Amino acid sequence: MIREEAEIAREKRQYLEQWLASHREASEAAPDVRQGLELAQWAEDVLGNAPADMTFEPHLKEQLRGELTSLQIVLPPMPLYDRGQISQVFATNSTASGSAIYTQVYQAGQEVQTPGVTNWSNRYTAEYEAIQCRHKRHEMVCEKLGLLNPRRVDEFDKAWKAAEDGQGRWLTQENAGIAMRNVLEHVKGDLWERARCRHSEAMTWRIMAQRLSKAPAGTVGRQTLLDQKSTYDTLHRELTDVAKNLTSASTRDIGSLMTRLQDHLLIVLSSVEL
């Protein structure tokens, strides 16, 4: 029996596949449309510039109208796509759902010590991390950080390097935890400053979202940003444990923390006006 969560994921996959199939069909028809456009431009020009004493056969109007009607039937208007909104949904809502799955799958691999679960967790978390790499998630986050505060780009790169250098040694783990937590805290501080109306104003995540969010109240986009407060708290707690050597973090644990931090930054920074 298929899980309901998997059924929803399948529905999303089928919807996107159908959209791409329609896009391919439209792309394949484009050469014919371009040729038709060239003829239409010629027809408009020649008919519009016809001498006043020039007459055309009576059935020509019916022929032209019939052609237009047939084109309107086989070429219905395509919807207007807002590229900015499309990119935002993929960067926020889609990243949030993917990150939630990744986090739970990774945690299951750590907590349920059975070969089946461990192998399943290792396989699919590694695939997710590879997808992040193919989608150039690191570069996307750096671009957003540069818009928020250019100093955060170098800070994030240093945290990335510290996470890559993690080899299970306490000192390396501590440095990685501190570097990643610094990015997390400093980005939040930058957002707080942007949201404040006066320097000393007390700030909360909800107020920040209310003032900076691109998405209106009551939408999925706004809720996605609000939900990142819980993600922030969890990441901060886990990174503090690593930074203070309160927990033994494996190389995989460090890599997973960076994966989740990267997702969190992309979601939040794509959700607010920069």
- pLDDT tens per residue across span 35-77: 999 999 999 999 999 999 999 999 999 999 999 999 999 999 9
Helix axes 220-243, 205-212, angle to 10 degrees: 140
- Asked if residue 191 has pLDDT above 70, the reply is yes
Helix (H, G, I), strand (E, B) or coil at 272: strand
pLDDT in tens, 128-167: 999 999 999 999 999 999 999 999 999 999 999 999 886 5
The whole-angstrom separation of Cα 155 and Cα 179 is: 8
Mean pLDDT of the chain: 94
Query: C-alpha 124: how far from its chain's center?
Result: 19
pLDDT in tens, 81-132: 999 999 999 999 999 999 999 999 999 999 998 999 999 999 999 999 999 9
- Contact, 110 vs 247, CB < 8 A? no
